[in-house]
Amino acid sequence: MLRRYSVHLILAVTGGAIITMAYQEYLSLYVMSVLMFIGVNIILSTSLNLVNGYMGEFSCGHAGFMCVGAYVSSLLGVWLFAKDKVFGTAVLNPDYALYAFPFILLAGGVAAALAGLLVAIPSYKTRGDYLAIITIAANFIIISTIENIGAIGGSRGFMGMKRLINSMEDIVDLPWMPIWVFIFTVLCVWVIRRYVSSTFGKGVSAISQDEVAAEIMSVNTNKIKTITFMLSSGLAGIAGGLFAYILGYVNPGSFNIMKSTEVLVMVYLGGMGSLSGSVLSAILFTLLLEAFRFIIPVINDFAHQIHIISPDYDISQVWRWVLIPLLLIILMQFRPEGIMGNRELGDIFPRLKKFYRFK
């Protein structure tokens, strides 16, 4: 009994604790936003792992789908429930914003899933590095398209989502963003877990291990590829929607190849085909990124104190993006299969299996 519900219990306690602390304002806004970005990054890395790890493709344009989701859910939300200079007055009464919000996010996910077809259809004929190019091109195309639509702000971006969150909080006074991020993160990992552990979803691994054998052994490879790409990009779209509402502002520049690279790093750091690895590495990577904000000034002060750098040079935050890749390169030299390899938490600590069941 305990085993059956242990994961639910842990999740409920963690979620409850975070939200209570957010409500009581024990956590600063900064800490809250880091926690929320951890959630978004978990969705991104697990969903990309579905394609890059489980299916063995090499998609490097995940941020493009995130962008579609972010824009669609932002535009839809603002159009429906907020007064804005692009759309004018709200179409619906902002009092319904709270109930409509999950559907707005899902709409973003659906739009991103449709954008995923841009990659899924070429994948019938080609795979490997050639497909990788197509994903990169898709990322550029998506960004570039949005940059060229002046009506929604073009490359300057789009804002107004904060009003929606405010009207949600007006209805029921709860920290809604952390709640939504938490719910959707859990939902995302849960759906992926169920998908890949079903016999239907094991067709994904079959494609990765031997596509010819899979097709001849009755796996409808095109269908599985379509579903997998669409699921992966759809979840990225949801992550994008959450991202947009957390920031209250989107611009196409934040979904460029650099963002895709970040997600790739999280996937390979965690280990290809390991869901718990992806979750773990998303948490670690986000924390690492934030930790450097504080570490770099310390290093700077120290370097000045022992006079190894000239007094008029400061080690700035730019060094973050030198040190983090360096750290990752070193990490990969020691663990060239990622933190978890292709194993799950339960495979590494078999005893844990006694205590949880997560399906």
Partner 1 sequence: MLVSIIQNIINALQWGSFYALIALGYTLVYGVLTLINFAHGDVFMVGAYIAFFVSTFLLTTIGLPGWVVLALCIPLTMILTSMVGVTLERIAYRPLRKKGAHRLYVVITALMCGLILENANLALLGASRKAFPPLIEVYVYNIGGVIFTNLKIAVIITAILVFLFLQWVVTKTRVGMAMQAISYDKFAVPLMGIPLDQIIVVTFVLGSGFAGLAGLLFAMSYPILDPYMGALIGWKAFIAAVVGGIGDIRGAFLGGFLLGAVEILVVAFFPSTYRDLIAFTVLLAILTWKPTGLFGIAQTTKI
Partner 2 sequence: MQTQPKTNDAPVMEIRGLTQNFGGLKAVSDFSVKLGKNELSGLIGPNGAGKTTVFNLVSGFYQPSEGEILIGGVPTAGLKPHKVTSLGVGRTFQNIRLWNDMTVLDNICVAQHSQLNYGFFHSAIRSKHYLQREKEITEKAAELLNVFDLMKYADDFPKNLPYGTQRKLEIARALSSHPKLLLLDEPAAGLNSADAHDLIRLIRWIHETFDVTIWMIEHHMDVMMQLCTQIKVIDFGETIAEGSAEHVRNHPAVMTAYLGDENI
Indicate whether 322 belongs to the interface with partner 1 (CB under 8 A): yes
3-class secondary structure, 84 = strand
- The sign of the torsion formed by the CA atoms of 144, 148, 151, 157 equals positive
Indicate whether 303 belongs to the interface with partner 1 (CB under 8 A): no
Q: In this structure, are strands 249-250 and 158-159 parallel, antiparallel, or unpaired?
A: antiparallel
Selected from 326, 352, 354, 357, the binder of partner 1 by CB under 8 A is 326
Judged by beta carbon, residue 217 or residue 298, the one nearer partner 2 is 217
* Binder of residue 133, out of partner 1, partner 2, none (CB less than 5 to 8 A by kind): partner 1
Indicate whether 116 belongs to the interface with partner 2 (CB under 8 A): no
Inter-helix orientation angle 176-197/199-209, to 10°: 70
> Binding-site residue total for partner 2 (CB under 8 A)?
28
d(CA 101, CA 119): 28
Contacts to partner 2 from residues 153-192, by CB under 8 A:
191
Amino acid letter for position 181? V
CB of 10 to partner 1, least distance (A): 31
Indicate whether 209 belongs to the interface with partner 2 (CB under 8 A): yes
DSSP single-letter state for residue 251: -
User: Near partner 1 by CB under 8 A, which window of 3-11, 219-227, 239-247, 323-331?
Assistant: 323-331
Selected from 112, 132, 235, 246, the binder of partner 1 by CB under 8 A is 132
Selected from 216, 287, 298, 326, the binder of partner 2 by CB under 8 A is 216
Indicate whether 125 belongs to the interface with partner 2 (CB under 8 A): no
Judged by beta carbon, residue 92 or residue 216, the one nearer partner 1 is 216
d(CA 69, CA 324): 28
User: Near partner 2 by CB under 8 A, which window of 38-46, 205-213, 310-318, 327-335?
Assistant: 205-213
d(CA 74, CA 80): 10
Selected from 15, 154, 342, 343, the binder of partner 2 by CB under 8 A is 342
Judged by beta carbon, residue 7 or residue 328, the one nearer partner 1 is 328
As given in the structure block, the two tokens for residue 132 are: 């990788």
| Maximum C-alpha span of the chain | 69
DSSP single-letter state for residue 88: B
User: Near partner 1 by CB under 8 A, which window of 42-50, 185-193, 279-287, 312-320?
Assistant: 312-320
Please say whether the beta carbons of 62 and 119 come within 8 A.
Answer: no
Q: Which residues sit opposite 159 in a β-bridge?
A: 249
Indicate whether 95 belongs to the interface with partner 2 (CB under 8 A): no
* Binder of residue 272, out of partner 1, partner 2, none (CB less than 5 to 8 A by kind): partner 1
- Which helix (H) or strand (E) segment holds residue 201: the answer is helix 199-209
d(CA 111, CA 103): 12
Indicate whether 302 belongs to the interface with partner 1 (CB under 8 A): no
